[in-house]
Amino acid sequence: MGDAPGHTLITQHVAYLRTQRRLAERTLAMYGDAFARLQALCEPEGLALDALRSHHVRGWIARLHAQGLGPRSLAITLAAWRGLFKWMGREGLAKVNPADGIKPPKAAKPLPKALSVDQAVQLAEQAPRLSPPTAASPAAAARQEREAPWLAARDGAMIELLYSSGLRSAELIGLDVAASPQAAGWIDLQAAEAHVLGKGHKRRSVPVGSAALRALRHWLDVRASLTAPQDNALFLSRLGTRLTPMQLRNRLKQLAQLAGLPTHVHPHMLRHSFASHLLQSSGDLRAVQELLGHAHITTTQVYTKLDFQHLAKVYDAAHPRARRKP
């Protein structure tokens, strides 16, 4: 660090972090980078460390961000600077901590992953016909063959309902076979509606598409033929009890792999697909918000970004000047 501003103080502080705080070498290396940035910013302005104020730190963080330093790196930088000035305050070397109260820019949230329309339809249409590899033992193979018809009916109904109505996994597995005061949710086949208990114990009703209704009626016929189900749950496990979130997740992952989809599929991805595809077709953000049960429109607005991504891909693929260099 040479004769850069605060070199001696920073060297002493790093020694304190190493011996007293026992920070890991990787953390020390990242903090060292942060202190080097601080010295490089102080030097042109001839500022000593104890002369820094919050407007200096705020401006420098903005400058580093503009130069391409990411939110996580900026957060580490601020943590290192804040710790340095706190230590200086305890040692009587600084009167204020100029990094206090300054927050790094928020990291961009990753967009929810959605299937394409073709992939979603492929999964929904193939699920009732997919069979896992034959089990090794004769007994397991016999059980597999015996269970195959009702598992196919159940799986087809679950996938159609997830994609048709945008249900959360907890809402799906919380459905009962019939309405009752104790039921968290149920399907009204006559009205083509699903009544569910969503986040915050808020009830909502969502329409159920014709393909999902057909799959549900078939599953209910099959379910009625099963030997004394031990639960009122609409969707049952092999043991006749309510399906668990993990069982649903694992089954959907297996079915997606058998269907040849090139991505890991989980229940919430079908909810994302429902929202994205509905928004692409209708453009009605408020309606999608109501159907998803979002309390705030900002939660639903993330799907407009997915919609723009779809439009951008169409543009890139179709417009004669989309990919031409000037």
* Domain CATH for 213: 1.10.443.10
Asked whether residue 180 is domain-assigned, the answer is: yes
246 and 165 housed in the same domain: yes
Give me the sheet containing 186-188, strands edge to edge. Answer: 186-188, 193-197, 203-207
72 and 187 housed in the same domain: no
State which of 48, 75, 90 marks the end of a domain. 90
Q: Considering the chain, what percentage of its residues have pLDDT values greater than 90? A: 54
Whichever domain contains 86, its CATH number is 1.10.150
Q: Which residues contact 295 (CB under 8 A, 6 or more apart)?
A: 199, 200, 202
Q: Quick check: helix, strand or coil at residue 112? A: coil
β-strands 186-188, 203-207 pairing: unpaired
Asked whether residue 151 is domain-assigned, the answer is: yes
Active-site residue set: 168, 199, 268, 271, 294, 303
- Average confidence (pLDDT) over 214-229: 87
Tell me which of 262 and 63 has the higher pLDDT: 63
56 and 195 housed in the same domain: no
pLDDT at 140: 75
Q: Quick check: helix, strand or coil at residue 302? A: helix
166 and 76 housed in the same domain: no
Rounded Cα gap, residues 276 and 163, in angstroms: 11
End-to-end distance of the chain based on CA atoms, in angstroms? 45
What is the per-residue pLDDT across 101-157, written as a single tens digit (0 to 9) for each?
998 888 766 667 888 889 999 999 888 787 666 666 787 777 777 888 899 999 999
130 and 70 housed in the same domain: no
Lowest mean pLDDT among 173-177, 185-189, 309-313: 309-313
pLDDT tier for residue 262 given thresholds of 50, 70 and 90: confident
148 and 31 housed in the same domain: no
What is the per-residue pLDDT across 1-47, written as a single tens digit (0 to 9) for each?
444 558 899 999 999 999 999 888 889 999 999 999 999 999 999 99
Q: pTM for the full model? A: 0.61
Asked whether residue 107 is domain-assigned, the answer is: no
Asked whether residue 184 is domain-assigned, the answer is: yes
173 and 220 housed in the same domain: yes
Asked whether residue 286 is domain-assigned, the answer is: no
Q: Quick check: helix, strand or coil at residue 266? A: coil
Asked whether residue 308 is domain-assigned, the answer is: no
The helices-and-strands tally (H runs, E runs) of the chain is 13, 3
Asked whether residue 316 is domain-assigned, the answer is: no
pLDDT at 305: 67
141 and 252 housed in the same domain: yes
131 and 259 housed in the same domain: yes
Domain extent, residue 62, equals 7-90
How many domains, in total, are found in the chain? Answer: 2
Asked whether residue 282 is domain-assigned, the answer is: no
243 and 161 housed in the same domain: yes
> Does pLDDT of 203 surpass 60?
yes
Rounded Cα gap, residues 294 and 288, in angstroms: 9
142 and 57 housed in the same domain: no
146 and 225 housed in the same domain: yes
Name 195's bridge partners. 186, 205
> What's 176's DSSP letter?
B
Name 197's bridge partners. 203
